[in-house]
Amino acid sequence: MSVTAEIRARVHRLTVDDYRRMGALGILGPELRTELIDGEIMEMPPIGHPHAGTVKFIANRLKEAVGAAAIVAVQDPVWLDDHSEPLPDIALLRPRDDYYRTGHPGPADVLLLIEVADSSLHYDREVKLPRYARAGIPEVWLVDLGGRRLTVHRRPAPHGYVDATIPDNLALVPVPVGVPATVDLTRLF
């Protein structure tokens, strides 16, 4: 084992509860955008405008498409397990009267997560997707801005998503909200 691997093996892993307390107590300042992945705090890069604009575009289109059938959350935390609480770009959540004021959504609350990737493509694909799959998140869309490609990942399993498909028509992308719904993402790229 390399000494780097040895250090990694010994790093103290925070729980989601530790991590939230660090935020509440100001140890993680409000200026920081972070997520907790396997007990380690990762810093998110500042959001550039192509990324930010794409997130706004998708979030608004989704809201139009799903109406009251789901809550659209943008860059809010979703917990996956005791040691991971990432910040997906967009989360489509089961409707709840309290809008999750009483607790962040967990895997059972999530219908769909969307990650918009520019420089973060590898991180999203290699680190976040497998963890979403392991937590049983039913569907994830990965928007690759550089490659101008949307991939839809379904059938979560312990090692990743079994199905990855590219929708053949961006004008009619099916949205998993329990009722038949599609979203028009024609001008996504």
Partner 1 sequence: MNRIAHQLARIHRLSVADYRRMGELGILAAELRTELIDGEIIELPPIGQPYAGSAALIADRLREAVERSAVVALHEPVRLDEHSEPRPDITLLHPGIDGARVGRAEGADVLLLIEVADGSLRYDREVKLPRYARAGIPEVWLVDLGGRRLTIHRRPGPLGYADVMTPSGLGAVPLPLAGLQTADLSGLF
Chain residues in the site for partner 1 (CB under 8 A) = 3-8, 10-12, 14, 18, 21-22, 25, 27-28, 32, 34, 37-43, 45, 120, 122-123, 126-127
Q: What's the DSSP call for residue 147?
A: T
Reference 38, options 60, 63, 19; nearest CA is 19
By beta-carbon proximity to partner 1, the closer residue of 5 and 166 is: 5
Distance in angstroms (rounded) separating the CA atoms of residues 72 and 113: 10
Distance in angstroms (rounded) separating the CA atoms of residues 83 and 123: 18
Query: Whole-number minimum distance, CB 71 to partner 1, in Å?
Result: 27
CB 182 within 8 A of CB 172: yes
Query: Whole-number minimum distance, CB 90 to partner 1, in Å?
Result: 19
Query: Whole-number minimum distance, CB 11 to partner 1, in Å?
Result: 5
Reference 125, options 113, 117, 136; nearest CA is 117
Query: Whole-number minimum distance, CB 44 to partner 1, in Å?
Result: 8
By beta-carbon proximity to partner 1, the closer residue of 77 and 138 is: 77
